[in-house]
């Protein structure tokens, strides 16, 4: 005897309709009132069922409009290749990738000098609280909030690359700028985690309940020394990361493809 609570019956029925295509991506879900009649439940019970589907990331709601089935178009991010310093680029790596996918990139940008958090200090191998330069991007694709990216540079690097701490954008990309100033990154360490967004992140990325974020932390090394730590927060419903791993010796991973 499966004694399911009523709100689960509502959610299960709608979930089935979403999965079998009766409610395709983008479709409107029956209104709370309709569900009250159909399942003979109170409004709050119908809402509980809908809320469950929201927290599963299947639907979302907006006031005055109703509930809608999520449409998930995902963007693939190949993280295993180094930025190719020879390959022609149109601005930074992000803009290049988005444009080559036929989409329109947009980003806001700011620079701050501030004490490094514990996590960042550990990765940059500096004392916690030591000064670091933060370069922060808020990125959009076709005006949809896509990701935030915070890159921290240790203070000692600024004397060799002063533009890091200046407010303006670096058109050619900071990786190229650093390489031109003699700091070439030859090793990356990537960490990937997931969690629900903080309220701040939910605001910046315009995601509601039910959409997790992907946290991508990349530490770049020049020789044995870490020279930057980039924390990227990606909308989990729109992004997927790829890595190609090769067991062949003597092969560069830097070929354009």
Partner DNA sequence: CAGTGGTCTAGACCACCAT
Partner DNA sequence: TGGTGGTCTAGACCACTGT
Give contact residues for DNA (rule: CB under 7 A).
5-8, 29, 31-34, 40-45, 47-48, 61-67
Q: Given the complex with DNA, which of 46 and 134 has the nearer CB atom?
A: 46
CA distances from 79 to 52, 188, 229 (A): 33, 10, 15
Where is 190: in which H helix or E strand?
strand 187-195
Q: Shortest approach of a second copy to residue 141 CB, angstroms?
A: 17
Q: Which is nearer to a second copy, 33 or 72 (CB)?
A: 72
Site residues for a second copy per CB under 8 A: 15, 52, 55-57, 74, 76, 79-80, 82, 185-199, 209-214, 236-237, 239-254
By beta-carbon proximity to DNA, the closer residue of 59 and 126 is: 59
Decide: helix, strand or coil at residue 110.
strand
Q: What is the DSSP letter of 28?
A: B
Q: DSSP label at 53? A: H
Helix (H, G, I), strand (E, B) or coil at 205: helix
CB of 52 to a second copy, least distance (A): 8
CB 114 within 8 A of CB 134: yes
Q: Which of the listed partners (a second copy, DNA, none) does 29 bind, with a CB threshold of 5 to 8 Å by partner kind? A: DNA
| Contacted entry of a second copy, DNA, none for residue 65, CB cut-off 5 to 8 Å set by kind | DNA
Of 65 and 193, which has the nearer Cβ to DNA?
A: 65
Q: Measure the CA–CA gap between 121 and 123, rounded to whole angstroms.
A: 5
């Amino acid at each position: 005897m499966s004694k399911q609570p009523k709100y689960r019956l509502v959610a299960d029925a709608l979930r089935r309709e979403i999965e079998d295509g009766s409610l395709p991506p983008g479709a409107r879900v029956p209104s709370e009132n309709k569900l009250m009649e159909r399942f003979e439940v109170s409004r709050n019970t119908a809402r509980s069922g809908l809320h469950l589907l929201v927290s599963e990331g299947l639907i979302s709601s907006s006031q005055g409009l109703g509930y809608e089935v999520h449409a998930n178009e995902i963007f693939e991010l190949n993280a295993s290749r180094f930025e190719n310093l020879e390959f022609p680029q149109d601005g930074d790596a992000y803009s290049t990738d988005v444009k080559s996918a036929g989409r329109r990139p947009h980003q806001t940008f700011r620079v701050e000098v501030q004490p490094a958090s514990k996590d960042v200090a550990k990765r940059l191998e500096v004392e916690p609280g030591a000064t670091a330069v933060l370069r922060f991007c808020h990125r959009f694709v076709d005006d949809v909030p896509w990701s935030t990216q915070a890159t921290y540079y240790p203070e000692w690097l600024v004397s060799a690359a002063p533009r890091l701490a200046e407010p303006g954008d670096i058109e050619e990309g900071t990786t190229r700028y650093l390489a031109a100033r003699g700091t070439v990154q030859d090793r990356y360490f990537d960490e990937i985690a997931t969690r629900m967004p903080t309220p701040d992140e939910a605001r910046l990325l315009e995601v509601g309940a039910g959409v997790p974020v992907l946290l991508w932390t990349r530490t770049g090394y020049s020789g044995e020394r870490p020279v930057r730590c980039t924390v990227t927060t990606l909308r989990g419903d729109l992004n997927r990361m790829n890595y190609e791993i090769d067991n062949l010796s003597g092969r560069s991973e830097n070929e354009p493809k």
